[in-house]
Amino acid sequence: MKQFISVKDVRQPSELMKLAKMLKKQPFAHRHYGQNKTLGLLFFNPSLRTRMSTQKAALNLGMDVMVMNFNSDSWTIELANGTVMDQGTQEHIKEAAAVISQYCDIIGVRTFAGLKDVEDDYGETILKKFIEYASVPVISLESATLHPLQSLADWLTIDEHKAHSRPKVVLTWAPHPRALPQAVANSFVQWMQVADVDLTITFPTGMDLSPDFTKGCKVTNNQEEAFQNADFVYAKNWSSYSNYGQKATGHEDWIVTQYKMALTNNGKFMHCLPVRRNVVVSDDVLDKPMSIVIEQANNRTYAAQAVLLKMLGYEG
């Protein structure tokens, strides 16, 4: 695998999920693959889970890891070609990516959407420039539009907890005080479309996702109708795609509660974390066994480990 920025980079996604499942049982079985190899994790945005789970995944494989927080620790990166760099930026991405490629065998990059310019965000400017100028494989640690490591872990979690084949999975928009990117939701939809699940997406009118992602999916603006008989409820806030980057107002009643979860088929509650308690989901859901968010976060390690192992040349 030369890059991992989308499910489209994976030849057999279900095999990758099964590899993650196998690695969860035997996390140290492939340590020789990472010997004398270095993973560089580059963060333009904050992270807890992605940073620590990907680091743990690399350590499980015997790799060394270097982490760089670009916004606090590095030079300010210039992206545009042909710029006279006499303003705030100090280092061009051409040199930065080329130099980092000499230190690292695989590079992971986290770069969120700015939510101001849809073409810039959906063009994945920073990630694509890293791929262009790096000479080693690049993994997305969440980009402007996608979060594939999260989605692979989500799929593994659903596979582990499903009580029957083709479970009903509901992706529900949930309230949040800030405008958030669409990356987790877009990516979850992409991966669920290749998984054997019955997916429904629900959001308030106006809080749509890009039709490029929702095309062919069941979509409803009636949250309670969507929750009927669901086996899994995945909550996530996102800002509007059509009103690009706009935050919703007046939809606080889209919070996931025990009352709504009672409409499901004894459904499990999922969220990528971090989650705003009693805004996105009530305590009486999050603190009950129906919530599988901690196991979901645990699975981030094995999702990352599967991707790294493939990039290190594992063919099994």
- Per CB under 6 A, residues contacting ligand CP are 47-50, 142, 150, 272-274
Minimum separation from the CB atom of position 304 to ligand CP (A): 11
Minimum separation from the CB atom of position 96 to ligand CP (A): 22
Minimum separation from the CB atom of position 142 to ligand CP (A): 6
Q: Cβ closer to ligand CP: 272 or 311?
A: 272
Residue least distant from ligand CP (Cβ): 50
Minimum separation from the CB atom of position 306 to ligand CP (A): 16
Write the secondary structure of the chain as one string of H (helix), E (strand) and C (coil). Answer: CCEECCHHHCCCHHHHHHHHHHHHHCCCCCHHHHCCCEEEEEECCCCCHHHHHHHHHHHHCCCEEEEEEHHHHCCCEECCCCCCCCCCCCEEHHHHHHHHHHHCCEEEEECCCCCCCHHHHHCCHHHHHHHHHCCCCEEECCCCCCCHHHHHHHHHHHHHHCCCCCCEEEEEECCCCCCCCCHHHHHHHHHHHHCCCEEEEECCCCCCCCHHHHCCCEEECCHHHHHCCCCEEEEECCCCCCCCCCCCCCCHHHCECHHHHCCCCCCEEECCCCCCECCCECHHHHCCCCECHHHHHHHHHHHHHHHHHHHCCCCC
Q: Cβ closer to ligand CP: 273 or 294?
A: 273
Q: Cβ closer to ligand CP: 6 or 150?
A: 150
Q: Cβ closer to ligand CP: 94 or 161?
A: 161
Minimum separation from the CB atom of position 154 to ligand CP (A): 10
Q: Cβ closer to ligand CP: 207 or 303?
A: 303
Q: Cβ closer to ligand CP: 183 or 209?
A: 183
Minimum separation from the CB atom of position 219 to ligand CP (A): 24
